[in-house]
């Protein structure tokens, strides 16, 4: 639910603002400028070949997909994965086409090797800097939420915990009695629904979020009618986002808005393109990481007794049961009617397995699952079957 709600807010409140621009251009610009810097430091000339490489790298990474408001741990995973795909794509095409001979090997390897470190340092600098800037009064926007309920509270909490949006919630509007609002813990109810329009006209309010159930259509229409002569931005957050949506998104059909509750990416031409890209990328990755996988397999084999690969049942596309491969990280390979997920300081996890789990190296065999068609490189994480 959090991700669906966050996606909804991102699409409506941010729009095409500063945060969107920074997230889209930050990584591509760092990647391009780092290539130029390393080339100049090395004393090389900026030949047309490097200019082409610069634009190719920029286009492959634009727009950036690392959000500044997501956890740093998740951002590090994205940075590593993005770097791995970019390095494989550039080196693979360069060697296959022979185009790699036009470049200085020291410059290219230094550039690719330093890229993840530079991207991570950029994140560490940009996060507090942008947060401080966007939480300043010059950029801050004021908003009110209509309806104190589950989704209204989550909206307020989301804005409070993410200063990158630069939105300050001034309070709630709700039609319930004062005693009832105190009973449910409403922190700051400004007025009832009828007082919304007068309040907006008398106070500086930039945005209104209607966190009302879709069943409240008459009340919503009345509120919109009351606010028609104001200049405030109004967003409707449908209560469908209270549920845990899988790949939830907002789309339109000939101008009519629709909400995708659960949409499969493996349909039509898009499905063919996605499957082909999965096959190509997974094959290249498996060839490149095969020495690493062999070393991990030997580490698992000699660190504790048991199989090298753990086969786990999970739910895949269309709810079908699939077998997923992972390097064994525990002393046991439990299966049955109840699955106990690994926890911190779990005694079942081996020392070598703890390292694999921390670095996510235990999931490398899942590229084989991609070749089998059971999984996709980019897609929802399958849930384990008990």
Model pLDDT for residues 183-200, shown as the tens digit of each residue? 777 777 888 888 888 888
**The dihedral of CA 118, 100, 287, 270: what is its sign?**
positive
Model pLDDT for residues 223-281, shown as the tens digit of each residue? 888 887 776 777 777 665 544 444 556 665 556 566 555 555 565 566 677 788 888 88
Kindly report the number of other CB atoms within 10 A of residue 140's CB atom: 14
Nearest to residue 339, comparing CAs of 313, 365, 300, 304? 313
Model pLDDT for residues 65-90, shown as the tens digit of each residue? 888 777 788 888 888 888 888 888 88
pLDDT at 281: 84
Whole-prediction pTM: 0.46
Model pLDDT for residues 26-45, shown as the tens digit of each residue? 899 999 899 989 988 887 67
pLDDT at 294: 92
Q: Return d(Cα 179, Cα 170) in angstroms, integer.
A: 20
What are φ and ψ of residue 302, in 5° steps? -100, -5
Q: What share of the chain has pLDDT > 90, as a percent?
A: 4
Per-residue pLDDT at 114 exceeds 80: yes
């Amino acid at each position: 639910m959090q991700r669906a709600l966050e996606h909804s807010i991102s699409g409506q409140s941010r729009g095409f603002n500063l945060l969107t621009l920074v997230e889209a251009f930050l990584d591509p610009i760092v990647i391009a400028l780092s290539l130029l810097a390393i080339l100049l430091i090395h004393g090389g000339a900026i030949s047309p070949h490097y200019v082409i490489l610069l634009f190719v790298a920029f286009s492959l990474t634009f727009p950036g997909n690392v959000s500044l408001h997501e956890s740093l741990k998740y951002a590090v995973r994205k940075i590593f994965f993005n770097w791995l795909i970019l390095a494989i794509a550039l080196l693979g095409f360069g060697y296959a086409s022979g185009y790699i001979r036009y470049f200085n090997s020291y410059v290219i390897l230094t550039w690719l090797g330093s890229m993840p470190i530079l991207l991570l340092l950029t994140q560490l600098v940009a996060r507090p800097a942008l947060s401080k800037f966007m939480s300043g009064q010059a950029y801050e926007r004021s908003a009110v939420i209509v309806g104190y309920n589950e989704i209204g509270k989550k909206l307020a909490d989301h804005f409070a915990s993410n200063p990158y949006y630069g939105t300050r919630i001034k309070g709630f509007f709700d039609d319930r009695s004062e005693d009832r609002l105190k009973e449910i813990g409403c922190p700051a109810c400004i007025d009832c629904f009828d007082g919304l329009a007068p309040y907006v006209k008398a106070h500086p309010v930039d945005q209104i979020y209607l966190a009302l159930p879709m069943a409240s259509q008459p009340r919503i229409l009345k509120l919109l009618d009351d606010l028609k002569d104001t200049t405030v931005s109004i967003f409707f957050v449908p209560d469908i986002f209270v549920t845990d949506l899988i790949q939830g998104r907002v789309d339109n059909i000939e101008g009519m808005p629709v909400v995708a509750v659960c949409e499969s990416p493996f349909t039509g031409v898009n499905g063919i393109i996605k499957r082909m890209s999965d096959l190509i990328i997974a094959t290249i990755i498996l060839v490149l990481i095969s020495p690493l996988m062999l070393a991990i397999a030997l580490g698992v084999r000699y660190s504790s007794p048991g199989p090298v690969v753990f086969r786990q049942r999970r739910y895949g596309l269309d709810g079908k049961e699939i077998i997923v491969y992972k390097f064994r990280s525990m002393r046991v390979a439990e299966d049955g009617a109840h699955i106990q997920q690994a926890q911190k300081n779990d005694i079942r996890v081996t020392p070598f397995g703890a390292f694999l789990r921390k670095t996510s190296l235990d999931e490398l065999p899942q590229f084989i699952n991609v070749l089998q068609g059971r999984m996709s490189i980019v897609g929802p994480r399958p849930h384990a079957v008990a």
